């Protein structure tokens, strides 16, 4: 019998490689941070396509008033699954995955602190997603109560189908994985830096992953506990969130947003990190005000923990509570604004190279600022009362999460793809992808601000033929189709470049963080020898020993 | 009584507050290295603010009418005033005190982040237990003990972060975590008070209207006991948390402004050298 237990093949060449022939087992059994990172990226790409398909179906249904392309039930399932997928199975795991790949490389380590825990995190995420999507094949269908599953709608007797149960179980599993990777990141960053890589010299992406990981460790348990209570309610007849039996439906909202608002920053802080790596490299300047970018991240992280109730202005918490939360929420604009100013100041006077990563990074700043400004607007209670639950909110958070996180993700993919695979993505297809994304994205979502102000409610499967609503929705749907086209170009670019892309070499962008010191794709053991770190840009110091960033580091 | 009359008349002469203040000032003047400069100004304005907090109409409001006034007093005494006092102590004095055998041992124990954190956050939680708060409101000597305890535990809480002697301070990242976790502890209590039903602190539900301003508070300002409790909880939560946040920003600013330890430990020779499995210690 023992001879039939498969031996996990030892990996000897940098992966991914089209020449490697170790089979699936070498991936499934892997505890190597690079392989796990790549698996994260592949799976999130699959979910991105699924979530995008759901979004397109939603937009087709809304293309004209009174449409019956989808039944109301299907529509509810689709917007629930779209939101859940994009937040929990695309943006968050992508950022975790890219962190898993890059953190050890950026700090000059050989792997994460806990490689097996790292694999566990990935597989929890993987199977959590499968659990969630399996609900489509059950009799009652997918969850249909929205991505925040408000009680009592998500509870008996309003939800008798099993959708919300799959939802809670799937997210519970992947949430535990997220806490584990948060802990893993923190320990890795604090203990495994190469000599000279002090905490004041770590790349900003690493710094922001540190803050994000602490947020993960603090806030995911809130929602995990809430999922457990929800499951107790639905499966064992508990009444945590049912007011009729002494529970509290508002309590669910507090739990959900107590997690959900920091979650927004879990989605955006690593994106800030990506932008803080891309912009300096393509402006050929060190980041302007490293200290301010780093410290403002801590401020955002702390502030994000205490402002969730601005999602609940319409609940009736009372004027006093609303006023305090309004004020605290507006304060977040300060550290965020500091970052934007720093990025712009980094570009100012730089020799800017508008390659695709830089195009996405620049567009990120613009789109994210729009999302941020509408965010400051709806932090004001009276404005929020007018536009809450309308398409204005839909537009706002898509500017923050698509215009923010996803644009940064695209920038990151174009920037690090050469490191991940050893080949460049095509610049021509990249530019097509970029312009289609910018046009499609703004066409889809900008007009939704107006729809929201005109009173169109979100989460309704259709709408009356009010003046201009039909044509504005049609524009939005056409935009969504263009966005869909851009994703096809993106996927085509990835598939084609994997085979025929220009070989990248170790450091195609002439960047200066340590991940570019190793081969592309990164060598099996990451580094044999790590370059000396005497400043924030080790490879720059190595290339230009006469003008190091830190004057004390000059070699005499 | 009109509001202006109240503001003029509700000053209370509290001998213990003045004695405590005088004791603080006297021991400050006795510190080695005492000089009249910006630091001593900061220290004495801290003492002045403390006296104002304890004898002004704010105290009268906090003891008789409004939980929220009590909370403002509490935040001032626990977080703001001790920080001013600590920043006023000259570095040399703290350095010398740490070298004395007995005082040094006590300071090292209290300056240990675990008891300091527990005192700083615990004094919020313990003194705000509704039953205890009720007793304190009725008992003069316990009330005095509470106020002094706020100032002292605040002082001990800030010590690991802002101690005048550098070697008594936590490393900047540890200090940030220390402050963030304290902020979380304070926020959770603030949340509990904010979202608990009205009437958590019954003393404020039907105050004896000794100064005759109750109808002004209830009818003109529309501060019902429920609203009062919310303002109190939110004051602890949001501005309280902002103080911790500002303090951690100050810590990070100090960290980034201080010079990097230098390339010691990294051989000053060109070329890749470090083994991939040796790690930095910062």
Q: What is the pLDDT of residues A6-59, one digit of tens each?
A: 666 677 777 776 666 667 788 888 899 999 999 999 999 999 999 999 999 999
Task: Judge contact between A514 and A537, C-beta under 8 A.
Answer: no
Phi first, then psi, for residue B200 (nearest 5°) are: -65, -35
Q: CA A340, A44, A188 angle in degrees (round to 5)? A: 65
How far apart are the C-alpha atoms of A66 and A107, rounded to whole Å?
A: 56
- Of A118, A95, A108, A123, which Cα lies nearest the Cα of A32? A118
Separation between Cα atoms, residue A242 and residue A247, nearest integer Å: 5
- What is the token pair recorded at A338? 């500091």
| Position A19 in a domain | no
Which distant-in-sequence residues (6+ apart) come within 8 Å of A473 by Cβ? A62, A63, A64, A65, A451, A463
Structure token pair of residue A319: 């004027």
Residue A24 counted as domain residue? no
Q: Which residue has the tokens 């806990």?
A: A114
Q: What is the 3-state secondary structure (H, E, C) of A494-551?
A: HHHHHHHCCECCCCCCCCCCHHHHCCCCCECCECCEECCCCCCCHHHHHHCCCCCCCH
Average pLDDT over residues A349-378: 95
Q: Which domain holds residue A114?
A: 33-553
Instruction: Write the secondary structure of A25-54 as one string of H (helix), E (strand) and C (coil).
Output: HHHHCCCCHHHHHHHHHHHHHHHHHHHHHH
pLDDT digits (tens, 9 = 90+) for A431-488: 999 999 999 999 999 999 999 999 999 999 999 999 999 999 999 999 999 999 999 9
Q: What is the pLDDT of residue B270?
A: 41
| pLDDT digits 0-9 by tens, A266-296 | 999 999 999 999 999 999 999 999 999 999 9
Domain at A38, CATH number: 1.20.210.10
Q: Answer whether residue A50 is part of any domain.
A: yes
- Domains identified in chain A, total number: 1
Tens digits of residue pLDDT in A82-93: 999 999 999 999
Query: How many Å lie between the alpha carbon of B67 and the closest alpha carbon of chain A?
Result: 14
Q: Is residue A8 part of a domain?
A: no
Question: Taking a C-beta distance cutoff of 8 angstroms, is the pair A209, A277 a contact?
Answer: no
**Contact between chains at A196 and B266 (C-beta distance less than 8 A):** yes
> Is A320 an 8 Å CB contact of chain B?
yes
Query: What pTM was computed for the model?
Result: 0.91
Q: What are the chain B neighbours of A529 within 8 Å (beta carbons)? A: 272-276
Q: How many helices (H) and strands (E) does chain A have?
A: 18, 1
Residue A305 lies in a domain: yes
Q: Is B245 on the interface with A (CB under 8 A)?
A: yes
Q: Among candidates A423, A397, A468, which has minimal Cα distance to A14?
A: A423
Q: Cis (ω within 30 of 0) for the bond into A16?
A: yes
Residues of B in contact with A222 (CB under 8 A): none
Q: Which residues of chain B neighbour A303 with C-beta distances below 8 Å?
A: 245
Look up the ipTM and state it: 0.83
Q: How many residues are present in chain A?
A: 556
- B93 interface with A at CB cutoff 8 Å: no
Instruction: For residue B193, list chain A residues with Cβ-Cβ distance below 8 A.
Output: none
**Cβ-defined contact of A321 to B273 (cutoff 8 Å):** no
Q: Which residues on chain B are in Cβ contact (under 8 Å) with A532? A: 266-267, 270-274
Nearest to B194 among A192, A321, A556 (CB): A321
Distance CA(A195)–CA(A107), nearest Å, equals 9
Looking from the CA of A399 toward its CB, the CA atoms found within 13 Å total 25
Residue B139, classed as helix, strand or coil, is coil
Give the mutation candidate from B172, B257, B263 for the A interface (greatest A CB count, under 10 A). B263
Residue A12 counted as domain residue: no
What number of CA atoms fall less than 13 Å from residue B95's CA on the CB side? 7
Please indicate, yes or no, if residue A108 is contained in any of the structural domains.
Answer: yes
Distance from C-alpha of A197 to C-alpha of B282, rounded to nearest angstrom: 9
CB-nearest partner of B274 from A305, A331, A529: A529
List of E strands, A155-249: none
Contacts of A200 in chain B (CB under 8 A): 255-256, 260, 282
Strand ranges, E, within chain B: 274-275
Among the partner residues B249, B266, B273, nearest to A299 by beta-carbon distance: B249
| Stretch A225-244: mean pLDDT | 93
Per run of 10 residues, the mean pLDDT along chain B (length 282 residues) is 79 88 91 83 94 92 91 95 92 80 81 91 93 89 92 93 86 91 91 87 85 86 90 92 93 86 47 50 50
Answer for the pair B170, B161: CB distance below 8 angstroms, yes or no. yes
Half-sphere exposure of B154 (CA within 13 A, CB side): 28
CB-CB under 8 Å, A109 with B274: no
Cis peptide before B92 (omega within 30 of 0): no
Q: Is residue A393 part of a domain?
A: yes
Choice among A95-104, A301-310, A418-427 with the minimum mean pLDDT: A301-310
User: B197 touching A, CB under 8 A?
Assistant: no
On chain B, the residues whose CB falls within 8 A of the CB of A545 are: 270
């Amino acid at each position: 019998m023992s001879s039939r237990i498969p031996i996990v093949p030892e990996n000897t060449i940098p992966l991914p490689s089209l020449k490697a022939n170790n089979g699936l087992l070498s991936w499934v059994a892997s505890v190597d941070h690079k392989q796990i990172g790549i698996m994260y990226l592949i799976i999130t790409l699959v979910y991105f396509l699924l979530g995008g398909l759901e979004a397109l179906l939603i937009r087709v249904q809304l293309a004209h008033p009174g449409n019956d392309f989808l039944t109301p039930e299907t529509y509810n399932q689709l917007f629930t699954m779209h939101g859940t997928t994009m937040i929990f199975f695309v943006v968050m795991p992508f950022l975790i995955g890219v962190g898993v790949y890059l953190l050890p490389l950026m700090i000059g380590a050989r792997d994460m602190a806990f490689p097996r825990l790292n694999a566990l995190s990935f597989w929890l995420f993987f199977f959590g997603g499968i659990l969630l999507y399996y609900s489509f094949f059950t009799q009652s269908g997918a969850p249909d109560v929205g991505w925040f599953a408000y009680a009592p709608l998500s509870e008996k007797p309003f939800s008798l189908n099993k959708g919300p149960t799959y939802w809670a179980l799937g997210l519970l599993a992947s949430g535990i994985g997220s806490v584990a990777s948060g802990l893993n990141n923190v320990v890795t960053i604090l203990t495994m830096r190469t000599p000279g890589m002090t905490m004041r010299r770590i790349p900003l992406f690493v710094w922001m992953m540190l803050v994000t990981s602490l947020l993960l460790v603090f806030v995911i348990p809130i929602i995990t506990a809430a999922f457990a209570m929800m499951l107790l309610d639905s499966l064992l007849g508990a009444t945590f969130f049912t007011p009729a039996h002494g529970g509290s439906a508002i309590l669910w909202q507090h739990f959900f947003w107590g997690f959900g608002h920091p979650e927004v920053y879990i989605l955006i802080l690593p994106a800030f990190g990506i932008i803080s790596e891309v912009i300096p490299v393509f402006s050929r300047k060190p980041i302007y005000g490293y200290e301010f970018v780093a410290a403002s991240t801590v401020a955002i992280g702390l502030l994000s923990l205490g402002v969730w109730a601005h999602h609940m202005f319409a609940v009736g918490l009372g004027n006093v509570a609303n006023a305090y939360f309004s004020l605290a929420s507006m304060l977040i604009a300060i550290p965020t604004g500091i970052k934007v100013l720093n990025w712009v100041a980094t570009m100012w006077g730089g020799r800017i190279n508008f390659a695709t990563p830089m195009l996405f990074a620049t567009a990120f700043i613009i789109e994210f600022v729009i999302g941020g400004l509408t965010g400051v607007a709806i932090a004001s209670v009276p404005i929020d009362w007018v536009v809450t639950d309308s398409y204005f909110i839909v537009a706002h958070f898509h500017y923050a999460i698509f215009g923010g996180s996803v644009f940064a993700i695209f920038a990151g993919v174009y920037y690090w793809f050469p490191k991940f695979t050893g080949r460049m993505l095509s610049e021509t297809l990249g530019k097509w992808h970029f312009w289609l994304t910018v046009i499609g994205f703004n066409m889809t979502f900008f007009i939704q601000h107006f729809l929201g102000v005109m009173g169109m409610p979100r989460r309704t499967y259709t709408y009356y033929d009010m003046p201009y609503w039909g044509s504005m929705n049609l524009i939005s749907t056409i935009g969504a189709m263009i966005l869909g086209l851009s994703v096809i170009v993106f996927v085509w670019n990835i598939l084609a470049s994997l085979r025929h892309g220009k070989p990248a070499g170790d450091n195609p962008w002439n960047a200066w963080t340590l991940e570019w010191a190793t081969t592309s794709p990164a060598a099996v053991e990451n580094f044999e020898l790590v370059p000396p770190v005497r400043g924030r840009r080790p490879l720059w110091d190595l290339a230009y020993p006469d003008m190091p960033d830190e004057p004390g580091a000059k070699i005499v | 009584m009109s509001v202006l009359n109240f503001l003029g008349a509700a000053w209370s002469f509290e001998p213990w507050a003045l004695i405590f203040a005088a004791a603080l000032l006297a021991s400050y003047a006795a510190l080695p290295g005492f000089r009249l400069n910006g630091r001593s100004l900061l220290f004495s304005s801290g003492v002045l603010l403390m006296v104002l907090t304890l004898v002004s109409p704010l105290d009268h409001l906090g003891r008789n009418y409004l939980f929220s006034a009590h909370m403002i007093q509490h935040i001032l005494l626990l977080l703001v005033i001790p920080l001013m006092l600590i920043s006023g102590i000259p570095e040399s004095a703290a350095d010398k005190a740490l070298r004395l055998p007995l005082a040094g041992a006590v300071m090292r124990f209290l300056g240990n982040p675990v008891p300091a954190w527990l005192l700083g956050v615990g004094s919020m939680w313990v003194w705000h237990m509704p039953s205890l708060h009720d007793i304190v409101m009725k008992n003069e000597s316990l009330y005095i003990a509470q106020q002094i305890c706020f100032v002292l535990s605040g002082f001990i809480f800030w010590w690991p972060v802002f101690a005048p002697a550098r070697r008594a301070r936590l490393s900047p990242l540890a200090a940030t975590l220390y402050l963030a976790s304290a902020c979380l502890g304070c926020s959770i209590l603030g949340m509990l008070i904010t979202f608990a039903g009205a009437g958590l602190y019954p003393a404020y539900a039907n105050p004896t209207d000794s100064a005759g301003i109750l109808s002004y508070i209830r009818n003109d300002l529309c501060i019902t006991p429920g609203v009062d409790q919310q303002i109190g909880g939110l004051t602890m939560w949001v501005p309280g948390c902002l103080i911790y946040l500002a303090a951690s920003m100050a810590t990070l600013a100090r960290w980034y402004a201080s010079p990097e330890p230098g390339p010691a430990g990294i051989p000053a020779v060109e070329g890749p050298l470090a083994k991939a499995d040796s790690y930095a210690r910062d």
